[in-house]
Chains A and B, each alone.
Chain A
């Protein structure tokens, strides 16, 4: 029996334990949960704790030793994962989502990999990712804070406006636990002070996000304060099991998360990139663990070599970003957005045996036309036109045959949300424009069947198609100075970018004294201000011969048409 005694030390152990670690991290999430309760009401608390408790219960059969009265919620790891998942939910999520999500967290996220310590991907993000793909509409049902019983709202990442202070405090629509950077920071500082998380992942994440945003010309402060980025940097990416353990590897991992998050936000249809960014980095964690190895104590020369290599890598990166940024700026300067590859691709997509395309000189500046040839015989046109969507410009290409009928079309690019606006890319929507003709361009908009919940984006596509069909039209002739003879209030309608603009013009003493825009559906951040400016200019100059607002040409012209309509009666 004596021989079974373990001889070697250490003979003492710290009081830390897995259970304690999990509960400490859960405790650090309480400020965020409290903020959720304040901002989005008791239902938010229900979502968080229903997820956490359900996950704990579902995890029990897998725990070593099974159920114990002393620790009814187990080692806390499932509770923590469930809580993290709950905090990512939208305030308008249906009541059953916590149960469904907790099951995904435990069964797919955790136990399918072999239980605690063995999962490759963050279980909470696995559940969030699956819900995002399976039920996009349900888990993006945002609400206004402090006013949560009312209608669906857009998050700042989807185009809603918010001040930095509102972003910091969390007074914005968003996931219940993710909106308040302040509450998250309080929890993170607690964890850091207690020694449960290091700084490398979070600082790497936030720092890389800021730098990437700067390089892409985005607002860095908005980038880190909006959406789930702060939550991910402080709590999701730092998940112990799914992040690397080495110092260097942790820093690189954090940087990877930050860069990917911003790239996904900027270049894909998903307004929020953290879920997939962190899951991707989770996937390469084992690789980082074995490839980014810290040099040992005493490897002085090796460390110096590594430092030089790191500095060189950063220099190359900065140089690369500089070149990329510079060439991007150059391209914008030339103004030629469509590279030849796009035209070549579209040509083959829509025309059989197409041979080449030649630039076709259109009267209009806002569309680009390419005439497509089969050998020497012209077979049709590719018309590139765009329309202003909900939060971005939707660029379309419309293919016309020689009868100038639509034979095909596609969305070249857009920045609408993947879950709603992005649906305009679906053939079932786009096919309604087939066989439209330049003979009656207005019909496109008049008979539009928009996608429910994506009316603005649908209309933008219709406008783009209409503009494409109008490619032969000369720009409207400038209007002349107004000569008014009758006082009174006159109503008029014009068509702006997205739809009708209805106005009333007041004429008093042969002068236009007021222009009231009664209704319009122009974009809030571009079209609407343009209307105000045009109206003011018309009143000031008593002329319809005013410069259109750049970037809002169609809105400007729509209003001018409405005024003309009112005063021409």
Chain B
């Protein structure tokens, strides 16, 4: 079964992959920068409260952000040094969040504060469950695929889960974070998945990976032999396979109902790096203070996969990759499909940052948009089976109710429609406007 190549049945498109730029580049650590600006909100929910004050000295791994009331995840220091300022940081979407500035000093940047590893073999199921969920919370782990949903909340779900899937689809072009992790640390991926599987009492697990990552897939299949309940699942190369619901549809042919989570069909999905972080937190007591980021695109001199201390700036990462290869490339934080273009490079790398992509003028989209010729390609590729052409026509004519009944709220903002549009219409931009208008109306 696991040798078959699966895909979701309707919609989606094949993007230019461009993964070859970095898929053979091993993950190397970004040297600790002179200072970091660590946002107190690197997760879905509300910002955490500062646990330190200006002048405090911190180690790598020191807790600097307490859990707040409401959905949140802890934040730890990524460098050894001194707290210089409690301020705010700019995010790629233009918003500002509270942040802590830390000046790195010449003290030991190798050692780190760790928690006690958990010996899980002797634990009863209930004790195991409690211990792991507590540990995941202590380590500040969130969904590292980009959604940044606090993982301890997700794991505490009461849904009856029978399958855990690790999402290694990585369908965004250029990005090779999960690719490299699966190549270099396949065993850790399986280990993390197995911990989650046992915690939820799920009978099976899959590590799903698109076939444009043959080395990673090879590694997964090799390691899968050591884990009887877990299989490697090859997926066709198709965007957006990494979207949770479409991954579930592809791997298990279960369709998550609209407005529901995968738990409703007995499935829990975690990102590759997330399960690696879980394995690290459980087996080694590490907390989450760095993450792997792909710096790529033809606009950067030396494309690389970096392990970046959280709070290091976009400029730090680009400088370590020998800077820009041509003047003024478009700098994207995230992938080229769903990421944000930034013009201020002091923006910090957070738990959500999977890539920093520098696109040259020829790579970056630029065509002026024309009238819709009703070719239907947007409808064809929409993984949610929506009519983007009609939806955006409603939005542009202030017909919000019609836009919503056409599926505005079901849209997952993958951007496949805009990518394929032969008339180069900025569909996603319009849909974003529509979503904002709908949200504003709801809150009124």
Measured CB to CB, the residues of A under 8 A from B are: 2, 5-14, 16-18, 20-21, 64, 77, 115-118, 195-196, 198, 240-247, 250, 289-290, 293-301
In-complex Cβ contact of A116 among B371, B415, B418, B420 (8 A):
B371
State whether the Cβ of B340 lies closer than 8 Å to any Cβ in chain A: yes
In-complex Cβ contact of B374 among A12, A20, A117, A298 (8 A):
A117
- Asked if A17 contacts B422 (CB within 8 A), the reply is yes
Measured CB to CB, the residues of B under 8 A from A are: 10-11, 13, 15-16, 92-94, 173, 245-246, 249, 255-260, 330, 332, 334-344, 357, 359, 363-365, 367, 370-380, 383-387, 389-390, 406-407, 410, 415, 418-424, 426, 428-429, 432
Closest B residue to A239 by beta carbon equals B374
Return B295 CB to nearest CB of chain A, in Å.
Answer: 15
In-complex Cβ contact of A12 among B337, B342, B343, B376 (8 A):
B337
- Asked if B258 contacts A9 (CB within 8 A), the reply is no
In-complex Cβ contact of A13 among B367, B372, B406 (8 A):
B367
List 26 A-B pairs, Cβ < 8 Å.
A6-B341, A7-B340, A7-B342, A9-B338, A9-B339, A9-B415, A10-B365, A10-B419, A11-B357, A13-B365, A14-B13, A18-B423, A21-B422, A64-B370, A116-B373, A245-B376, A245-B378, A293-B387, A293-B406, A295-B385, A296-B258, A296-B386, A297-B10, A297-B384, A298-B256, A299-B258
- Asked if A115 contacts B371 (CB within 8 A), the reply is yes
Task: Give Cα A245 to B376, complex, Å.
Answer: 5
In-complex Cβ contact of B376 among A8, A16, A20, A240 (8 A):
A240
Chain A positions within 8 Å of B332 at CB level: 9, 11
- Asked if B365 contacts A11 (CB within 8 A), the reply is yes
Task: Give Cα A77 to B260, complex, Å.
Answer: 44
Chain B positions within 8 Å of A296 at CB level: 258, 384-386, 407, 410
Of B383, B422, B428, most A-chain CB atoms within 10 Å: B422
Closest A residue to B363 by beta carbon equals A12
Q: A8-B432, A18-B422, A296-B407 are in contact. Are A241 and B340 (CB under 8 A)?
A: no
Chain B positions within 8 Å of A14 at CB level: 13, 419-422
- Asked if A246 contacts B379 (CB within 8 A), the reply is yes
Return B383 CB to nearest CB of chain A, in Å.
Answer: 6
Interface of chain A: mostly helix, strand, loop or mixed: loop
Closest A residue to B18 by beta carbon equals A12
- Asked if B255 contacts A297 (CB within 8 A), the reply is yes
Chain A positions within 8 Å of B429 at CB level: 6, 8
- Asked if A297 contacts B173 (CB within 8 A), the reply is no
Q: A117-B372, A290-B390 are in contact. Are A300 and B423 (CB under 8 A)?
A: no
Chain B positions within 8 Å of A242 at CB level: 374
- Asked if B359 contacts A18 (CB within 8 A), the reply is no
Task: Give Cα A247 to B383, complex, Å.
Answer: 13
Task: Give Cα A244 to B364, complex, Å.
Answer: 31
Return B125 CB to nearest CB of chain A, in Å.
Answer: 32
Q: A116-B373, A118-B371, A300-B255 are in contact. Are A10 and B415 (CB under 8 A)?
A: yes
- Asked if A297 contacts B373 (CB within 8 A), the reply is no
- Asked if B385 contacts A297 (CB within 8 A), the reply is yes
In order of increasing CB-CB distance, the 3 nearest A-B pairs are A298-B258, A117-B371, A245-B376
Return A495 CB to nearest CB of chain B, in Å.
Answer: 61
Return A196 CB to nearest CB of chain B, in Å.
Answer: 8
Return B417 CB to nearest CB of chain A, in Å.
Answer: 9
Closest A residue to B427 by beta carbon equals A10
Task: Give Cα A7 to B377, complex, Å.
Answer: 24
In-complex Cβ contact of B341 among A7, A16, A118 (8 A):
A7
Return B430 CB to nearest CB of chain A, in Å.
Answer: 10
Chain A positions within 8 Å of B364 at CB level: 11-12
Q: A9-B339, A10-B415 are in contact. Are A289 and B390 (CB under 8 A)?
A: yes
- Asked if A117 contacts B390 (CB within 8 A), the reply is no
- Asked if B370 contacts A18 (CB within 8 A), the reply is yes
Q: A297-B255, A300-B255 are in contact. Are A8 and B384 (CB under 8 A)?
A: no
Return A568 CB to nearest CB of chain B, in Å.
Answer: 75
- Asked if B365 contacts A12 (CB within 8 A), the reply is yes
- Asked if A11 contacts B374 (CB within 8 A), the reply is no
Closest B residue to A245 by beta carbon equals B376
Chain B positions within 8 Å of A6 at CB level: 341, 426, 429
Closest B residue to A4 by beta carbon equals B343
Task: Give Cα A202 to B53, complex, Å.
Answer: 70
Q: A9-B415, A297-B258 are in contact. Are A245 and B340 (CB under 8 A)?
A: no
